Structure formats: C-alpha cells, structure tokens
Structure 1
Amino acid sequence: MSGIADQGLRSSQWTSARLRSQTLYLETSRERFELKYQPPQEQEERQQDLYQLARCKCALPLATMKKLGVPMPPAEVEVLQSDVAWDEFKWSNLSMAVRGQVFHVVRMHFMANSKPGGGGGGADSSS
C-alpha cells in the first residue's frame, strides 16, 4: 500500500498526478499489467483525468522495455479497461480492483515514460 499511497498533500505528489510522467507496472504471480495516464484526445475537454489498464502480452526484460518505450506500444499490450477515473481504482495491501476485476499484486514499480529507443525509462521505485 505504501508504494501506491500519495507522497504528500500537494497535488503534484499524488500518485494520480505522478502517472502523467510515469507508468505503473503491476505484477501478479503470472502476469504483468500496465496502468497509464490516458491523455485527452484533441479538442476533448475533461472534468477529470482518465487512465488505462492493460495486460502486457509478455513480461519483457527492462532493457527491451526501454527500447520499445514506456508506456508499451499498443502491439505489446491488451487493453482491459480504458477511460477509468482514478477513484474507480480500489487499492488494498495485496490487491487492486477496478470495475469488478481484482488483481492480486505481488510486485509493482513505476517507470518514467520514454520514447522508443531507450531515452529515460528507468525504474523509479518498487514494492
């Protein structure tokens, strides 16, 4: 829980704001999932930020992820949920739930968003 908890009272320290520049990878005992900020489409006005949860088709090594770019290209993930408001995610010590799906998380880490080719993208933190 401490890995996902907001880091302070300022909005820039909130996990939801952190996802504007980083992508969160959640791992169960069998799969890896990607949680990322979903930027508004051109000329779209929003009242709140939205996020996308996807299953990584393959749990790739860190070096390969850096080459492909973070978040992963669409061909590398299967979108499970899109247009998800932050308050739809329910976090507990060992799991994350969204829209009726529960994921038993054993590991999670943030990675800085990067373009293909390895610019940036190092692992930021783990839990």
Structure 2
Amino acid sequence: MTGYEAINYLSLITIGISGLSVVAGLYFIKTGRRELHKKTMINASVFALLFVGLYLLKNALFPTSKYEGPYKSLFLFILWSHTALAILNFPLAVITLRYALKGVFDKHKRIAPITAGVWLYVALTGWLIYFFMQWLNH
C-alpha cells in the first residue's frame, strides 16, 4: 500500500466514524441520553478534525487528480456542493459545540439540526467523490 492509498483509506475511515457518530449522537439525544450524546458528538468532532488533517496532508504531499469519467456534470455538482457545505460546516460545528459546552441549549437546539444535516451531507458526498474518483474516473 502506498502512502497515498493509506491516507485515502484513513480519510474514509475517519470521516465515516465522524458521520456515524453524528447519527448515533442524534439517536442518543432523541432517546434522552444526554451524556452519551455529548460523548458521541465530541467523538464526531475529533474524527472530523483528524479527517481535515489527513485531507490537508494528502493535498500537501500528492498532486490532485482531475475527474475524466462519465457523469461529469453530476460529479461536479456533488463536488461543488460538498466543498461549499464543507466550508460552511466548520463554523457551524464550532458554534453548535460552543453553545452546547456553554450550556446555551436553546440556541444549540436551533442550530444543531442544521449542523447535523450539513455534516452528514458532507460526509456522504465525500464518500461519493471517492467512489467517482476511484471507480469511475477513466
């Protein structure tokens, strides 16, 4: 396995764990398990930050690839929406976590569903982009 492949796989794992942690966190808060919700959302944040670090490392060490496969318009839509929402997700996540950690739960409850939706969209489209680049790019 090359360094590039290792970083790719670790990236997929970290963002996958992050996304699954968000889903688990939503389940825990809906079922009244606040402490588990808090732990899983912190876990989601840690794995998201690990992903960002791996993403930056990969882009610093290896050249980016251009998509040359079928469904280019669909790929570009997914890529652009993913990129825009990933940029938006960082401040959303910081604000959402800050409200929760400071105990400002009325504001946390208002912004958290938006943050969770954006977070999950970014995680899922990240996997789709990987699929396009690895399996359809020819």
- Short-chain TM bin: under 0.3
Q: Which has the higher strand share?
A: 1
TM-score, with length taken from structure 1: 0.27
Larger-gyration structure (1/2): 2
Q: Which has the higher helix share?
A: 2
